[in-house]
Amino acid sequence: MQACTLAFGPSHGRMPLTDIMGALGAHRWRVRGVHVPALGVKIHPHYGVFAPTRHEYVDLVASVPWPRPGKVFEIGTGTGVLAVLLAQRGASDVVAVDIEPRAVECARDNVDRLGLSASVRVVRQDLFPDGTADLIVCNPPWLPSPVSSSLDTAVYDPGSRMLRGFLRGLPEHLSPGGEAWLVVSDLAERLGLRAPTRTLITDAGLVVRDRLDIRPRHKARKDDPLAEYRSAEVTSLWRITRSDKAEV
C-alpha cells in the first residue's frame, strides 16, 4: 500500500497488477538505495526516476579533470546522482534541474540525505535555469524514441529534443571560458536513429575540447535483438566549449 501511495499518490484507486509490481520493485530500491562506487554512498531512486544502476557514466564524470567552477548547472538531474558527485568534487553552487516532478522530489531527497543542500539546489525546469554557469553537465536519455507516458521521459528523448535543446542553449548559458560536459552513448547513432554526436555539437556552433570514452561493463543479453549493437556501444563524456566567435 505504502509503495503504491509513494509511486502514484494518495488517491490512486485500483491499479493493474503490473503497475503494482513495478511500484513494489521501485519501493525496494527506494528503501535500500543503490550503492554508487564513485560516490562511496547510496543513492535512493524513486519510482519512475532514472536509476544509476550502470556506473560507467558516473565514473566518467568522476574522472574528468576538475575545472574548479564557480556556478554549476546540471540539466536533467534524475536521482541527483551527478549533482551529488559534482558537490563531492568541490562545487559549492550547483543548480540541478529536471522537467519531471518525481525526479525533482527524488533528487531533493538524496541531496538532503547526504547533507548537501547548502551546495545543491534542485528545481523543476525545462532545460536551462536563468543565467550562466562555468560548468554545465547533462546526461540526456540516450535513445530518441517516442514517449507514451511521463515515466518514459527518464529513458527516451523523442526526436533528440533534450539533446538538441541542450546544445542549442549552451552558447547563451555557458560563461565565457566555461565548459560543458555532455554524457551520451553512441547506441542511437549505431542504430542510425540520429546524427553522430560530434556533428550535433559542431552544428550548434560549439567546439569539442576533448572526449573521454568508456565501454559498458555489463554483458548484453543473448536474446536481446540489439545485442550486437549494445556489445559495441561506447559511452562518452564530451567536453564542450563555446567557439571563439561566440565568446566575442
Ligand X SMILES: C[S@@+](CC[C@H](N)C(=O)[O-])C[C@H]1O[C@@H](n2cnc3c(N)ncnc32)[C@H](O)[C@@H]1O
Q: Under the rule (CB under 6 A), what is the footprint of ligand X?
A: 50, 52, 75-79, 81-82, 97-100, 103, 126-127, 139-141, 153-154, 162
Q: How far is the CB of 247 from ligand X (least distance, A)?
A: 25
Q: What are phi and psi of 187, to 5 degrees?
A: -60, -45
Q: How far is the CB of 154 from ligand X (least distance, A)?
A: 5
Q: What are phi and psi of 25, to 5 degrees?
A: -60, -45
| Cα 9 from Cα 47, distance rounded (Å) | 11
| Cα 233 from Cα 247, distance rounded (Å) | 34
Residue 172's Cβ-count burial label (10 Å; 0-12, 13-18, 19+) is exposed
Amino acid identity for residue 148 in this structure: S
- In the bound state with ligand X, the residue whose beta carbon lies nearer, of 20 and 161, is 161
- In the bound state with ligand X, the residue whose beta carbon lies nearer, of 77 and 241, is 77
C-alpha cell at 85: 558527485
Q: How far is the CB of 4 from ligand X (least distance, A)?
A: 21
- In the bound state with ligand X, the residue whose beta carbon lies nearer, of 38 and 201, is 38
Q: How far is the CB of 232 from ligand X (least distance, A)?
A: 20
- In the bound state with ligand X, the residue whose beta carbon lies nearer, of 63 and 243, is 63
